[in-house]
Amino acid sequence: MLKLSNAVELADWEIQITQIRSQGAGGQNVNKVASAVHLRFDVLHSTLPPFYKERLMALSDQRISKDGVIVIKGQSFRTFEQNKEDALNRLKTLIQEAVKPQKARRPTRPTKSSQKRRVDSKTKRGAVKSLRGNVKV
């Protein structure tokens, strides 16, 4: 059971966890131990509220496929249990970040003094460049 908030929880049957071998350079256990984790979570067929599903599907994250399947690979640690816990935490963080309310953007305008400084600097630069021309005798 993965608890996302006070009202929303994910059941164990909704999250599919597969043991795989880790990638990377060789070592003592590399070709013998399957300690990495593939976590798959189908957003569209889950028990998440519709609001959560909409926000997750609107994300432009490479871990979410067009079919609505989130795939997270955990291979940071040496044990399966730690990698599984890490993958579950990353799924939880992804879902919580998706449903966080976005801060509204307020358009701003440059101040009068900043506009005046900009124009003055352009005028000064133009004067310097005009002095570089040919000297008339």
pLDDT of residue 29: 64
Q: Is the pTM of this model over 0.75?
A: no
Which amino acid is present at 86?
D
119 pLDDT band, cuts 50/70/90, is: very high
pLDDT, tens digit, for every residue of 22-62?
A: 777 766 666 677 888 999 999 888 888 898 889 888 888 88
CA distances to 18, 23, 26, 36, 38 from 32, rounded to whole Å, are 16, 12, 11, 12, 17
Q: Indicate the domain borders of the chain.
A: 2-99
Rounded Cα–Cα distance for residues 69 and 85 (Å): 19
pLDDT, tens digit, for every residue of 54-98?
A: 988 888 888 888 888 999 998 888 888 999 999 999 999 998 898
**Considering only the top CATH level, what class is 2-99?**
alpha beta
